[in-house]
Structure formats: structure tokens, C-alpha cells
Amino acid sequence: MSETYGKPGLRITSLAVADAAKVMASAYGRRVTEEQVRQIAERGGLVRADDTINLLEYAAYLVRELAHGSD
């Protein structure tokens, strides 16, 4: 994780799938599992070799899916 003002911080451009699930659960106020995030990220080809995702790309993918009436 990156350092922000001497404290560990999150990098939304390189976030572990498990951390992404925690961030989304906190923002959404509901349970979001690592497996749910991973399934979507893998379907969109968003998981990198180091098992991280870019949260902005993930959000953009979700918006595209909604706009195109994804199952």
C-alpha cells in the first residue's frame, strides 16, 4: 500500500480484490464479498497479474454493463 502523510493508504488504481470489496461494502453500506468483485472483474478482464484491479476501470465497466442491459 502507498504511504499518505505517513499512514498506509489505498491506491484506487492498484487495489487488491479483497480490499476493493471492503471499500465497496463500506461505500454501499451492504455486504460485498471478494468473490462477487472477483467474478465481475474477471468477466471484464480487469484482474491484473498481481491480483489487483483499478477501481476506476471497475466502476466504468459496471456503468457500461448497466448501459448495455447486462444480465
The answer to whether the CB of 9 falls within 8 A of the CB of 2 is yes
Segment 48-71 shows an average pLDDT of 91
Q: How many domains does the chain contain in total? A: 1
Kindly report, residue by residue over 15-41, the tens digit of the pLDDT: 999 999 999 999 999 999 999 999 999
Domain that holds residue 32: 2-67
Nearest Cα neighbor of 54 from 28, 19, 26 is 19
Which CATH number fits the domain that encloses residue 35? Answer: 1.10.238
Q: What is the pTM of this model?
A: 0.79
pLDDT per residue as tens digits for the range 7-21 = 577 898 999 999 999
Q: Determine the Cα–Cα distance for residues 23 and 15; give it in Å rounded to an integer.
A: 10
For residue 15, give the nearest of 42, 52, 41 by alpha carbon.
Answer: 52
